[in-house]
Structure 1
Amino acid sequence: MNATEKFYLPVDGIFDMFTSLTSPSAVTHPVVQSAVAPQQHPKAPSFSKTGMGIIRMVKESWRQPMAHRSSSSSTGRQLSIERQAKRSVDLLELGLAKPKNCHRIVVLGAARVGKTNILQRFLGNDFDESYAPTAEDFHRKLFHIGGDAYQVDLLDAASERNFPAKRRLSILTGDTFLLVFSLDDRESLHHVRDMLDEIAAAKAKLLKLKHPAKVPAVICGNKADLTSPGAVTRSEVTQALGKDVTYFETSAKDGTGLEGAFRALAALGGLPDETSPSRHQLISLLSYQTLCISQRGRGGLRARGHGAPCAAMDPLARRPSFTSDLRLLLKSGSNKNNKPEMCHVQ
């Protein structure tokens, strides 16, 4: 090697060189071999272990500054947001949304009618051909529209059909309902009719009405993409459910009718049209939290016209405990003397 030639290796390369010195195989790198071969030192392995320790120390000390280049102020803000993201976000508890902007949609219907895929469409996800029984039955989507924050909880209560008290609690705490049947399954239509009757009776009992309450529900006849000669007709739906129901023929696969169904749900719940998936942009949860906090810092969420409509999914959202739902139910059923009424779950 030329005496004036400078020899450079990256740290990882040097580490590999020392590793090779500890192996019994011969050194094959031509430059390293010319530099090491003349020194037939019997303690080369122990020297190599020492060198490896030094190299490890150099590597760690070299890499540590790379992770701390940001300023202390921005780092503190980022850490604060990350801590918030480690738990489910409840805008009402955090004071970032008004009570009227927090809404719960309860989804009901027979098995295999496409409830999960319709829910996934609302959440902004694609259609999934494979079928699996619903395991994740609760979702939370957070919106930022016109300077206001909105929280929409979606509860798929279909799995509670064998637990009447549990299902009744879900019904009583629901604000609006999405009822789904399949156009190729008349039995699923009859199931929706029974659910409408159950919801109406439960709400009437809670509100102490003499007659069944009008159910704030949207009915979806799903699987409209399937061409079947024996499919359920619109006249059959009218005959089974009545003329006053809000009904859409939909397809979770190709999106037919879903936009109208989602807008009808928003109208029933007093939510903006921008809660429909095609009307807003999905962002990360951390970006959403940053947006809400910055809006509050500029005078509150009442300041309108800031930014396009956007939404974020809360990946840590879990169904509120039954104790929480019972407390909410008893609070809504309290009389003027603030004495809780009897529980209507049973």
Structure 2
Amino acid sequence: MPERIPRLNVVIVGDVGVGKRALADQICPEESYDPTLEDSWVKRIDVDRWPCVLDILLLDCPPEYTALRDQYIRDGDAFILAYSVTSQTSFSNIRTYDNDIKNKEKLMVGRTTKYSSSQRPCNPPVILVGTKNDLEAQREVSVEEGQMLAQSLNCPFIETSAKHNTGVEKMLHEVVRCYRQQNPPTPSEPETPTPSRSRKGLGRLLGPRQPKNDNGPRCIVM
């Protein structure tokens, strides 16, 4: 029986207008955006000879959509905290998003990693990403400020440009490496894990997207 490739839910978090959708479009350029479809992309990737599938999700919900925000945070295996280097405000809000993730520990109770059948909690890694670094003339946040914040949050830091597609692949590789580092297999477990769960409608690896059938509230990325 062939080995199944593991799937990781990677959630991109950040203010409206920082370029989350443009970043996701560079991750999966073959996908086109339709506002009637849910905000998810799928990427097959190999990192250090470890194949996996990334479900890329965008989180940008109004405050009143608490249950929806909690679901995205609960189901996230890794998080990309995105700010625009042209917006000091979006940079200042990163700590709030980081706290939201860290304060959701109660939502993680009972979760298992894809490496283990035990009930040890999943420790989702966080990556700090500065977007739009091609707009140097409009820069409000220096590289040094980004590095200092990443050091404070104890997470990797990368600047990207969706326009020139720079730093995007490095970002994805860092996400996978950090996940494996924080959730290593135990000696009795195989190096290549099998998926422990799946979520309906988190993107499609093959074929066009399908319209959503429900009429409930959705996250809309501006």
Q: Please give the range of the TM-score, normalised by the shorter of the 2 chains.
A: 0.5 to 0.7
Match among 56, 59, 74 for residue 157 of structure 1 = 59
- Is contact 1:105-1:176 (8 Å) kept? yes
Match among 225, 230, 245 for residue 155 of structure 2 = 245
Amino acid of the residue matched to residue 108 of structure 2? L
- Is contact 2:59-2:72 (8 Å) kept? yes
Match of 1:225 in 2: 134
Q: For the pair shown, which has the larger CA radius of gyration, 1 or 2?
A: 1
Aligned-residue CA RMSD in angstroms? Answer: 4.0
Give, in whole Å, the separation in 2 of the partners of 1:153 and 1:318.
17
Give, in whole Å, the separation in 2 of the partners of 1:234 and 1:105.
24
Amino acid of the residue matched to residue 262 of structure 1? L
Distance 1:136 1:96, change over 3 A: farther
- Is contact 1:105-1:174 (8 Å) kept? yes
Match among 5, 12, 15 for residue 110 of structure 1 = 15
Match among 137, 143, 147 for residue 234 of structure 1 = 143
- The 5-angstrom pairing of residues 25-174 of structure 1 reads 98=4, 101-125=6-30, 136-142=38-44, 150-159=52-61, 161-174=63-76
Amino acid of the residue matched to residue 172 of structure 2? F
Normalising by the residue count of structure 2, what TM-score does the alignment of the two structures yield? 0.65
Following TM superposition, by how much is the alpha carbon of 1:239 offset from its aligned partner in structure 2, in angstroms?
Answer: 4.3
Amino acid of the residue matched to residue 87 of structure 2? D
Match of 2:208 in 1: 315
Match of 1:206 in 2: 108
- RCO higher in structure (CA 8 A, sep ≥6): 2
Give, in whole Å, the separation in 1 of the partners of 2:20 and 2:169.
15
Amino acid of the residue matched to residue 112 of structure 1? G
- Is contact 1:196-1:215 (8 Å) kept? no
Give, in whole Å, the separation in 2 of the partners of 1:230 and 1:176.
27
- Secondary structure at the aligned position of 1:117 is classed as helix
Give, in whole Å, the separation in 1 of the partners of 2:86 and 2:23.
17
Following TM superposition, by how much is the alpha carbon of 1:224 offset from its aligned partner in structure 2, in angstroms?
Answer: 0.3
Match of 2:125 in 1: 216
Distance 1:316 1:164, change over 3 A: same
- Secondary structure at the aligned position of 1:263 is classed as helix
Match among 184, 191, 199 for residue 93 of structure 2 = 191
- Is contact 1:134-1:159 (8 Å) kept? no
Give, in whole Å, the separation in 2 of the partners of 1:267 and 1:146.
8
- Secondary structure at the aligned position of 1:179 is classed as strand
- Is contact 2:12-2:80 (8 Å) kept? yes
1:177 counterpart = 2:86: no
Amino acid of the residue matched to residue 244 of structure 1? N
Identity of aligned residues (%): 22
Distance 1:134 1:197, change over 3 A: farther
Give, in whole Å, the separation in 2 of the partners of 1:146 and 1:178.
20
Higher strand proportion: 2
Normalising by the residue count of structure 1, what TM-score does the alignment of the two structures yield? 0.43
Distance 1:162 1:251, change over 3 A: farther
Distance 1:157 1:229, change over 3 A: closer
Distance 1:147 1:133, change over 3 A: same
Give, in whole Å, the separation in 2 of the partners of 1:182 and 1:227.
11
Aligned residues: 180
- Is contact 1:141-1:313 (8 Å) kept? no
